[in-house]
């Protein structure tokens, strides 16, 4: 896996290799990102999402590890696009690591320029949680996907997906969440991927029920499950365009249609229809411009098929991979006829600062997650969605690497959950500190006009001040490490986003860090949406006492 051919695994237990738990937490989560049970291509430092990496080179990885081990408790390591570049004296409450990935001056913010600079060894693509060392496997996006499909079910199908067919494609680190989320809501998911390894991996990790030998078999399985009202997910090794063409030819009705191929990167993340994996790899290396042209043409056909399903009454949604933009670049004029999932289904949650709250047991002991699960249910006894989610997750989600959990909770709730976890560590009920982080996909951490900030009420889709303010506030609040990235989720030139992690170590200082970060971080989401004019955000700010000058006074 590494240059020594030794698989990377996160350390377990309570023994420190570093001079403090903040440094140890960053190190263990970096290692976890590259665990072969977690990463898509750990030998090449790729965690997920096309080419999303944890470090620029193996030499850089080893230098990061060595620096974290010697880093003092009043020092901060700076990491520039996966390369450790400096250690500075700061103070004990400052972050131990600050990370910036793939940030380009706007005029130069294109895939072409990024790839030129990457080839020179000057940058790397950090995706979202790959380059900020907080990826926890496919589980990390499952609940957000579940919440989206649950909102669709509530609005269109009486609160359940039983008997409904969801058609999608792309079963990688992100897309692999879709089949499990659908089956958790008793729906049937048919998912195509050109790579049989990806489908097989999702079966092994229980995110996908089965891989059918062909489309005929897949459709028989889907029909049986629909008729029985049972949740089931079925993979088929096919190109998405070919699958849609055959479904249309047969007159197969779909209730929901989406896609989560890595279309944000047309060179690496998407295989054109009619092309084998081997042929794609050869053309990608020999003629990248031609490859991109063919990929975009294929995406145009792919999106056109999705639009035709919408015309026939299906709920069709872009799941944040930028496929609509690529289809439009090829000339398909109806590419944006269907909405992104955030403005269509998730924005009401963002208005209350509700988003991904994830925690990982640095002990490596699954019992620590069981203890925090039980405490979360006790802390929020009236949150029916949370109770259903944790029950489902306990039964159906396999841990990948460091045992971890995710749930969606809001402003006014996250800091309470964090303090509860800190108390469990202090009491010894949880055996080692816990790192608390989140996806970069959150209510106050992203400027992404094709995903999180699409169709903002005040037209502020492309204003990037908000994630910058979020990152700076998290630094000031005492986060353990903070990252600021360009291009994650939707590709270079199309987003700026930040990530923040805090460590519940059972100490009074840990409690202060947890309370400040987990109050302020989601608070920026309420702030961002209140200033965009969303009444739900304004009401939530007033109800919680959030001080927003000019709005809540």
Catalytic residue numbers read 407
Residue 481 near residue 424, CB atoms below 8 Å: no
Helices 240-250 + 288-311 axis angle, to 10: 30
Q: Strand pairing of 210-212 and 355-361? A: unpaired
The C-alpha angle 48, 53, 54, rounded to 5 degrees, equals 110
With b for 16 or more beta-carbon neighbours within 10 A and e for fewer, the 42-81 pattern comes to beebbbbbbbbbbbbeeebbebbbebbeebeeebbbebbb
Phi, psi angles (nearest 5°) of residue 28:
-65, -35
Alpha helices in 71-110 (DSSP H): none
* CA gap 484, 29 in Å, rounded: 17
Say if residues 24 and 32 touch (Cβ distance below 8 Å): no
Give the C-alpha separation, 538 to 544, whole Å. Answer: 10
- Burial letters 338-365, b for 16+ CB under 10 A, else e: bbbbbbbbbbebbbbbbbbbbbbbbbbb
Single out the residue of 342, 510, 277 nearest to residue 415, CA to CA.
Answer: 510
CB under 8 Å to 258, separation ≥6 — which residues? 166, 167, 168, 178, 306, 316, 317, 318, 319, 341
Mention every residue, 6+ apart, whose C-beta is less than 8 A from residue 209: 179, 183, 203, 232, 233, 234
CA–CA separation, 64 vs 347, rounded Å? 37
The tokens for 298 are 């294929």
CA 172 vs CA 35, 163, 198, 352: distances in Å? 16, 25, 6, 30
Cβ density class 226-236: b for 16+ within 10 Å, e for less = beeeebbbbbb
- Please give the Cα distance from 531 to 550 (Å, whole number): 9
Distance CA 423, CA 238 (A): 49
DSSP bridge partners of 101:
485
Report how far residue 272's alpha carbon sits from residue 241's, in angstroms, rounded to the nearest whole number.
8
User: Would you tell me how many other CB atoms lie within 10 Å of the CB of residue 5?
Assistant: 7
CB 345 within 8 A of CB 528: no
Joined tokens for residue 96? 């131990």
Query: Can you tell me the distance from the alpha carbon of 553 to that of 550, in angstroms, rounded to the nearest whole number?
Result: 6
């Amino acid at each position: 896996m590494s240059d020594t051919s030794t698989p990377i695994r996160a350390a377990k237990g309570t023994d420190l290799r570093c001079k403090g738990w903040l440094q140890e937490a960053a190190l263990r989560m970096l290692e976890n990102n590259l665990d072969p049970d977690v990463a898509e291509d750990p030998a090449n430092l790729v965690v997920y999402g096309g080419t999303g990496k944890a470090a620029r080179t193996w030499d850089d990885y080893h230098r990061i590890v060595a620096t974290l081990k010697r880093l003092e408790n009043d020092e901060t390591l700076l990491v520039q696009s996966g390369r450790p570049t400096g250690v500075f004296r700061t103070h004990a409450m400052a972050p131990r690591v600050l990370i910036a990935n793939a940030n380009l001056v706007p005029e130069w913010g294109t895939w072409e320029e990024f790839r030129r600079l990457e080839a020179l060894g000057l940058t790397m693509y950090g995706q979202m949680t790959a380059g900020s060392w907080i990826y926890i496997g496919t589980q990390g996006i499952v609940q957000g996907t579940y919440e989206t499909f649950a909102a669709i079910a509530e609005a269109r199908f009486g609160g359940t997906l039983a008997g409904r067919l969801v058609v999608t494609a792309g079963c990688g680190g992100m897309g692999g969440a879709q089949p499990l989320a659908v089956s958790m809501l008793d729906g049937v998911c048919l998912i195509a991927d050109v790579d049989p390894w990806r489908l097989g991996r999702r079966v092994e990790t229980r995110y996908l029920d089965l891989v059918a030998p062909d489309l005929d078999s897949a459709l028989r399985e889907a029909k049986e499950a629909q008729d029985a009202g049972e949740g089931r997910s079925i993979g088929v090794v096919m190109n998405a365009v070919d699958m849609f063409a055959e479904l249309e030819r047969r007159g197969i009705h779909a209730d929901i249609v989406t896609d989560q191929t890595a279309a944000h990167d047309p060179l690496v993340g998407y295989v054109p229809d009619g092309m084998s994996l081997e042929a794609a790899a050869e053309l990608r290396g020999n003629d990248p411009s031609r490859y991109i042209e063919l990929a975009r043409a294929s995406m145009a056909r792919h999106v056109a098929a999705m639009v035709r399903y919408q015309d026939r009454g299906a709920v069709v949604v872009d799941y944040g991979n930028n496929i609509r933009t690529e289809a439009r670049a090829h000339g398909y004029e109806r590419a944006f006829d269907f909405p992104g999932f955030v403005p269509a289904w998730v924005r009401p949650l963002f208005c209350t600062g509700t988003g991904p709250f994830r925690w990982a047991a640095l002990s490596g002991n699954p019992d620590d997650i069981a203890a925090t699960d039980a405490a979360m249910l006790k802390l929020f006894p009236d949150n029916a969605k949370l109770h259903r989610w944790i029950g489902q997750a306990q039964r159906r989600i396999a841990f990948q690497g460091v045992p971890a959990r995710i749930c969606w909770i809001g402003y006014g709730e996250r800091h309470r959950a964090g303090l509860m976890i800190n108390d469990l560590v202090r009491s010894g009920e949880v055996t080692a500190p816990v790192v608390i982080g989140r996806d970069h996909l959150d209510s106050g951490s992203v400027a992404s006009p094709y995903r999180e900030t699409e169709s903002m009420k005040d037209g502020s889709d492309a204003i990037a001040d908000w994630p910058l303010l979020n990152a700076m506030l998290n630094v000031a609040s005492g986060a353990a490490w903070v990252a600021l990235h360009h291009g994650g989720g939707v590709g270079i030139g199309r987003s700026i986003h930040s990530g923040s992690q805090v460590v519940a170590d059972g100490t009074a200082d840990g409690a202060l860090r947890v309370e400040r970060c987990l109050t302020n971080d989601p608070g920026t989401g309420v702030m961002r949406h209140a200033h965009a004019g969303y009444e739900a955000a304004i009401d939530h700010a007033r109800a919680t006492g959030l001080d927003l000058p000019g709005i809540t006074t």
